[in-house]
Amino acid sequence: MTDVNNDTGYFQNPKFSINHFLAHSEEIIQNEHSALFYDWYCSTPALKARATKMAARLKCFVDAGLINGDDHYVWFTNQHPPQSECFDDMRISRLADDVCIGGICPASGNGLTFRRASIWKSKKCKIDLSVSTLWSNHAQQSSQKVSTEQKHFPLWKIMKSSSKTDEDFRDWVRETFNPPK
């Protein structure tokens, strides 16, 4: 299910900076929870709890100085692959040009990566969020995740710990989410 603006035909992600989102996350999640998700397969009321959890996880990376919260916005997906459990991930895009630069999945519900946390760099891809291309772009994003550089962790808490202590990982995340303009 996806919220679509009937006037424009585009996915209605409120595009404000990550820092603005985190500073006002309680109010934004309360009022616009479904607008934060590109698509979802869980019940709509469950999105509030899922968005709250994702915001807390995003905050870890922003607070550690690894994601530039001023120049980027976040959007969430709730995925449910066949024969797998429902899980969420977040995509980070540049405010200036809507290029998705990467994403974070705190706990996959999918096959070999079940319950593993991952973070990935995207190749440059401007996302056209019109209704006519919604599903093809979703497939494009999924295929780009597979073909891009990724880091996997057995659990979210290990990824979170690495974001504080592992300098090689910290440098990789900084480079991914704060690329030269």
Grade residue 12 by pLDDT with cuts at 50, 70 and 90.
Answer: low
Question: Mind giving me the DSSP string for 8-51?
Answer: T-BB------HHHHHHTHHHHHHHHGGGGBS--SS-TTHHHHHH
Question: Mind giving me the DSSP string for 91-145?
Answer: EEEETTT-BEEEEEESS--SGGGTT-EEEEEPPS-B---BGGGHHHHHHHHHHHH
Query: Measured in whole angstroms, how far is the alpha carbon of residue 134 from the centre of its chain?
Result: 16
Q: How far apart are CA 141 and CA 122, in angstroms?
A: 8
Structure-model confidence comparison of residues 84 and 27, the more confident one: 27
Q: How far apart are CA 73 and CA 54, in angstroms?
A: 13
Grade residue 5 by pLDDT with cuts at 50, 70 and 90.
Answer: very low
> Is 179's pLDDT higher than 70?
no
Domain boundaries, the chain: 18-176
Instruction: Enter the tokens of residue 86.
Output: 């429902």
Q: Are 122 and 86 in contact (CB under 8 A)?
A: no
Which of the given ranges, 42-46, 92-96, 147-151, has the highest pLDDT on average? 92-96
Task: Look at the block and give the residue holding tokens 């996806």.
Answer: 2
Q: How far apart are CA 75 and CA 93, in angstroms?
A: 8
Per-residue model confidence as pLDDT tens digits over 103-135: 888 887 766 667 778 888 876 544 433 333 333
pLDDT > 70: percent of the chain: 73
> Is 140's pLDDT higher than 60?
no
What is the mean pLDDT of the segment spanning 40-44? 82
* pTM (predicted TM-score): 0.73
